[in-house]
Structure 1
Amino acid sequence: MFTSVNDFLNEWKQEAAVTQKVLDALTDVSLNQEVSLGLYCIGSLAWHITGAVYYFPLQVGVKFEAPDLQKESPKSAAEISETYKTVSQRLTEAFSEQVTDVKLNEMVNLFGREMPLQAVFRLLIQHQAHHRGQLTVLMRQADLKVPGVYGPSKEEWEAMNAQKS
């Protein structure tokens, strides 16, 4: 639970930095990698993560300007990464300006469910982490170097162990 605006902002900045690191590791060629025919591919999953950063807050009245997120997922990994960076930064600014510690406890309706505002932003972070996990599996299948998220990745462990030898 977030008891203050700063609680959320501190956690968001950490989580957004990790997501940014994952998105920065994508390549244009990798965007079509999918787990199974007809399911999310890397590009559409990365775009979904990016869009959620705008749409979750919008549903509960936290508004800010964002690029066109309703268009089809870009064919450029750099465009997805840059758009995420922009949307994440604008969420940080809007949250700082539009939400107060008291407002965090107000009940809001998100997709038909009543919950405190703070729960919406917890759900946003969890939603992002959930899809980021899916994304890293697809990245591994696409032979991309997967960056560490909550600890070193396989490649990072190997590099650390090589330095010890």
Structure 2
Amino acid sequence: MHTSSFQQNILAELDHELATTRKLLERVPYDKADFQPHPKSMKLWQLASHIVNLLAFKQLFVQADSRDFLDPNGPKPGPTPSSSEELLARFDQYSASLRQALQDSDDEQLTGSFRLHRGEQTIMERPKAAAIRIMGLNHSIHHRGQLSVYLRLLDIPLPAMYGPSADEQGW
């Protein structure tokens, strides 16, 4: 009987989600960067960049025990990508770094606690594996869903995500 670890499960899920996310990001048109479906919504390019930058945040969950948003020396995302090629290159770089950090971890490390806070105020504290799944993968999937709506509103055909898309079916 084969026993699966936290690390193996997260890596398998990550691989699937990264491939799906990249397919969607490949379709984001830089010339529509300022599109926003509602005044309270992020602009298209801001949303796509946020999805990419979340990969670095997930890596932090693996490699650190906490992150204080008030720490001026804390990790911050790089400058906003200025082209589709730059966006995808950052996605590939951050994906590879996150994957390597997970491969270098083990279940003991992933059961350790991670605390996200703003000074003394705790925003979230949970085991690293749960933080990766909830604030990492699920958070990215949520924003990827938003991104798919933006693309639909721009009449850009959507790729398959969890099965064929209406565009791929010719509907």
TM-score when normalising by structure 2: 0.80
After superposition, residues 1-165 of structure 1 pair within 5 angstroms as 3-37=5-39, 39-58=41-60, 61-62=63-64, 69-71=77-79, 73-97=80-104, 99-111=105-117, 112=122, 113-123=124-134, 124-158=136-170
| Residue 145 (structure 1) shift | 1.3
Structure 1 residues 38-92: Cα deviation after superposition (integer angstroms, max 9, x where no partner): 5311110010011111023325635xxxxx8332x32312211221111011110
Structure 1 residues 75-120: Cα deviation after superposition (integer angstroms, max 9, x where no partner): 31221122111101111012211x2111221222134222011111
Q: Which runs of 5+ in 2 are unaligned?
A: 65-75
* Letter aligned with residue 93 of structure 2: T
% identical equivalent positions: 28
* Letter aligned with residue 112 of structure 2: E
- Specify which structure has the higher proportion of strand: 2
* Alignment partner, residue 163 of structure 1: none
Residues 111 and 127 of structure 2 are in contact (CA less than 8 Å); yes or no, is this contact kept in structure 1? yes
CA distance in 2, matches of 1:17, 1:60: 20
- Specify which structure has the higher proportion of helix: 1
TM-score when normalising by structure 1: 0.82
CA distance in 1, matches of 2:58, 2:6: 19
* Letter aligned with residue 169 of structure 2: W
Q: Counterpart of 2:33 in 1: which secondary structure? A: helix
Tell me how many residue pairs correspond in the alignment: 151
* Letter aligned with residue 78 of structure 2: Q
